[in-house]
Amino acid sequence: MTTRRSFLKTGLALAGAATLPAGLLAAAKKPAILGIQLYSVRADMKEAPVITLRRLSDMGYKYVEHANYVNRQFYGHSAAGFKKLLDSLGLAMRSGHTGLNSSHWDATKKDFTDAWKYTLEDAATVGQQYVISPSMESAWYKTYDDLRRTLELFNKSGELCKKNGLKFGYHNHHVEFSTVLGGRKMYDIILAETDPSLVTQQIDIGNMYNAGAQAADIIRHYPGRFELMHVKDEIKSSENKPGEPYESTILGKGVIGTEAITALGRQSGGTTDFIIEQESYQGKTPIDCAKEDLAVMKKWGY
């Protein structure tokens, strides 16, 4: 029997849910996807991709994100061949990094080149749902008008992806937060000029820290815009790279508050896909870091 207290509690919950944007409600209903960006184990993938993927699967990973698509091959395998390999290991690849660049757009024909069309075809074959451009050519954001033209191209790519059953996305580094064009930060322009129904944002919570940006602030300012997240933690770097005072480390060992940021993404960022990425290892092996990072995310409830 339903008590008055439980009825009121349910009613209030439903009333609160009714005030949320539809995209956030849809995201809240979906289980979180937990995967790893294969750039985290790039040396291992170059030397022995099959063995590395098997080790990741044995650890408990179910999803991977690629960072290697060259001459219509993923890590030396055709799209169909790589899909077969992933299937045999109990892995899936919902997203991947392939940079959209000037070679992919024919301005005279006002159409994408075959190279980009093949990219989308192969992404669909391998089972991707998202094609993520991991960065932007510097010539594409020299001026405010340059950037706006680039973002028009992003929307067009989103339209083409949609026709192929995919969604186009963009992944940030630190330059989007340190560059100001027309009196506005580059990332604010990107969010304003891209159509959310065509272009998703993969928020890299570590990269932006190098420009002094806080992922929590960005997620709160743009709720529901981040379907994918690169999950990182950061510590002071010993490499002294220009513009990059921090480097990634084991999740929970750094300074950015990764657990709280991922929770915020899940709650209000519209995030469904949480992709672990670690690029620096502080003396540990990349594969051991991947194992530790997975254990931390599991501990956090993913």
Domain ranges of the chain: 20-299
> What are the tens digits of pLDDT across the range 138-152?
999 999 999 999 999
Query: What CATH number is given for 20-299 in this structure?
Result: 3.20.20.150
pLDDT at 31: 81
Instruction: Look at residue 241 and tell me whether its pLDDT is greater than 90.
Output: no
Instruction: Look at residue 214 and tell me whether its pLDDT is greater than 50.
Output: yes
Predicted model pTM: 0.90
pLDDT at 242: 83
Computed over every residue of the chain, the mean pLDDT equals 92
| Three-state secondary structure string covering the chain | CCCHHHHHHHHHHHHHHHCCCHHHHHHHHCCCEEEEEHHHHHHHHHHCHHHHHHHHHHHCCCEEEECCEECCEECCECHHHHHHHHHHCCCEEEEEECCCCHHHEECCCCEECHHHHHHHHHHHHHCCCEEEECCCCHHHHCCHHHHHHHHHHHHHHHHHHHHCCCEEEEECCCHHHHCEECCEEHHHHHHHHCCCCCEEEEEECCHHHHHCCCHHHHHHHCCCCCCEEEECCEEEEEEEECCEEEEECCCCCCCCCHHHHHHHHHHHCCCCEEEECCCCCCCCCHHHHHHHHHHHHHHCCC
Question: Percentage of residues in the chain with pLDDT exceeding 70?
Answer: 90
* Contacts of residue 249, Cβ cutoff 8 Å, sequence gap at least 6: 233, 234, 235, 278, 280, 282
pLDDT, average across residues 115-129: 98
Instruction: Look at residue 12 and tell me whether its pLDDT is greater than 80.
Output: no
